[in-house]
Amino acid sequence: MSATSPGVSISSAVPEHVAVIMDGNGRWAGRRALPRHAGHKAGVKAARSAVETCAESGVKCLTLFAFSSENWRRPREEVGALMALFVEVLKRETEELHRNNIRLRFIGDRPSLGKRLAQRIAAAEALTADNTGLDLNVAMAYGGRWDIVEAARRAAERVAAGELSPADISEETIRGHLALGDCPDPDLLIRTGGEHRISNFLLWNLAYAEVFFTPTLWPDFSNADIDAAFSFYRERQRRFGRTAEQLEARSC
Ligand code: IPE
Ligand code: IPE
Ligand code: MG
């Protein structure tokens, strides 16, 4: 699919790479007088359904923001409940994802997640490594700035080792060292929960994403919302810096 190549104007029918900021779990719970962790639990169901729908729709790559580097600032009980939920979900869902030919990858500051979760992550990645269906990336303890700093550090290490000259550092060098260096950039970013911000998600990779904001709280996110996001995407003209006239001339 060509929608991600700079220079191609018309959005393909289905975005190749979809990134999602799954926001609104706490408010969903609050409206039901439930504790915040009940909202996170309900959010897992919405994530499962979004994964299925994206896989069936022909999306090649789905990146879900599950826990940001800034979310460590939340109350200790909420962070603890989230980490326990991640362990439980991995335990419960990995086999099913594997049966559905989904390849799992986790991006973020892995050591900060603790040994138990890091072990589950490594096992899930190893089990699904050769799958050829949907690429499912889960961002945990992830920050876009952290990602860029890590990439810069790796490039600097190569310079220090004499493998790379500073003059040869290019966008491709940095991209290649990012957590999603081998994925095409997201074509579509969806943020639920009504906020219109990026919250330090894939800062580099989202440079040319189409952005769909919806007030729907993440646990309520349904196939109807995915349809709305995909039709919004289909209506965009992706210009990548060119003019509409240039693109129209090319498509004649
Ligand atoms: C997103 O929902 C999930 C995480 C950040 C882990 P929130 O927990 O931010 O929900 P709201 O924004 O408070 O409603
Ligand atoms: C962004 O949501 C992170 C995730 C969805 C995991 P937040 O709710 O943490 O975002 P801010 O802090 O309100 O911007
Ligand atoms: Mg939030």
The response to whether residue 193 sits with its C-beta less than 6 Å from ligand 1 reads: yes
Q: Is the CB of 24 under 6 A from ligand 1?
A: yes
Among all ligands shown, which has an atom nearest to the Cα of 141? 2
- State which ligand 2 atom lies nearest to the alpha carbon of 24: 8
Q: Per-residue pLDDT for 8 more than 70?
A: no
Which ligand neighbours the alpha carbon of 189 most closely? Answer: 2
Of all protein residues, the one whose alpha carbon is nearest to atom 1 of ligand 1 is: 23
Q: Are 221 and 192 in contact (CB under 8 A)?
A: yes
Which ranges in the chain belong to alpha helices (H)?
25-31, 36-57, 76-99, 115-128, 144-160, 171-176, 223-234, 244-251
Confidence check: pLDDT of 1 > 70: no
Amino acid 250: pLDDT: 85
* Confidence label for 12 from pLDDT (cuts 50, 70 and 90): low
Q: Tell me the ligand closest to 35's alpha carbon.
A: 1
Mean pLDDT of 198-203: 98
Beta carbons of 144 and 174 less than 8 angstroms apart: no
Which of 71, 100, 131, 200 does the annotation list as catalytic? Answer: 71
pLDDT at 5 (0 to 100): 43
Q: What is the mean pLDDT of residues 167-172?
A: 97
In testing the pocket of ligand 2, which one of 20, 21, 202 has its CB within 8 Å of the most ligand atoms? Answer: 21
pLDDT at 251: 81
Confidence check: pLDDT of 145 > 50: yes
Structural domains of the chain ordered from first start: 17-238 (3.40.1180.10)
Mean pLDDT over the full length of the chain? 95
The structure's pTM equals 0.95
Sorted by sequence, the CB contacts under 8 Å of residue 67 that are 6+ apart come out as 82, 86, 108, 139, 140, 141, 142
Look at ligand 2, atom 1, and give the residue with the nearest C-alpha. 199
In the residue annotation, 23 being an active-site residue is answered as yes
Given a cut of 80, is residue 10 above it in pLDDT?
no
The predicted structure's pLDDT at residue 11: 59
67 C-alpha vs ligand 2 centroid, how far in Å? 8
Q: Are strands 17-21 and 188-191 parallel, antiparallel or unpaired?
A: parallel
In tens, the pLDDT along 214-250 reads 999 999 999 999 999 999 999 999 999 999 999 999 8
Is ligand 1 within 6 A of the CB of residue 67? yes
**Looking at per-residue confidence, does 244 or 1 come out higher?**
244
211 Cα: distance to centroid of ligand 2 (angstroms): 16
